[in-house]
Chains A and B, each alone.
Chain A
Amino acid sequence: MNCTDWEERLALYAGGDLAPAPAAEVERHLAECAGCQMFASGLRASLELLEGAHQEVPAPAHFAAVRSRVLAQLERERRPFWRRAWVYGFAAVAAMLLAAVAIWPSRWVAPPPPEVAIVHAPAAPVPIVPARPPQAGHKPRKKAEPGEPLMVRLVTDNPDVVIYWISERKGEY
């Protein structure tokens, strides 16, 4: 028989809770099993410690400190509502933000895109001269309104390289 099967009987035996016949059986096993002897002596020691601790009268200061810690712990556990309120409040704010983000684009009117002048730049860097003289037969390009940003796109020979130049100057490049 495995010694773990004796644990329950040994625990009852340690507190004197076995009838004479099973107690005698446990004693016979203990006489020939060193592991169970150690287990039984550990049980007796822990029971004696428990009884001793129960009889010991704690010092008033120690008792007061333990009592205040227990009461503080109980108080913390009694306030789960606040914790839940924090969570619900946070969830409500998050939901409102999400709703605001969902509604916002429908009311938002995109501003007209800035005027773009496209200039094909040579491979070598050159001074940027994006403005072209007006050609005959072409409608003159609408002049940028004062305050409107001007954007110049430089297209290089390398298709992966496009340079944007945004000017804040009023109608001038």
Chain B
Amino acid sequence: MLSEKERAALVLRDLEGLTTEEVARVLGSSEATVRSQISKARVKVKGFVERYFRRHV
């Protein structure tokens, strides 16, 4: 499960197309924190997707 911050960072960066700097400004965090949240969220999403396809395909 993604944390709230991870989900927000992922949506803003990967779906809304904001830069990491803009995401940091929106979420009131440092850019390093946002980059860490984005990378964790991407790894988690990769895990979800792979598990989903292993189960359903």
Contact = CB atoms under 8 A, between A and B. Distances in A.
B46 A15 contact: no
A106 B22 CA distance: 75
B43 A11 contact: yes
Contacts of A45: 46, 49
A42 B39 CA distance: 13
A42 B50 contact: yes
Interface residues of B, number: 16
Q: Main secondary structure on chain B at its contact with chain A? A: helix
Contacts of B35: 12, 17
Interface of B: 13-15, 20, 35-36, 38-40, 42-43, 45-46, 48-50
Contacts of B45: 46-47, 50
Contacts of B42: 11, 14-15, 43, 46-47
B8 to A, nearest CB: 14
A27 interface: no
Interface residues of A, number: 18
Contacts of A11: 38-40, 42-43, 46
A32 interface: no
B4 to A, nearest CB: 16
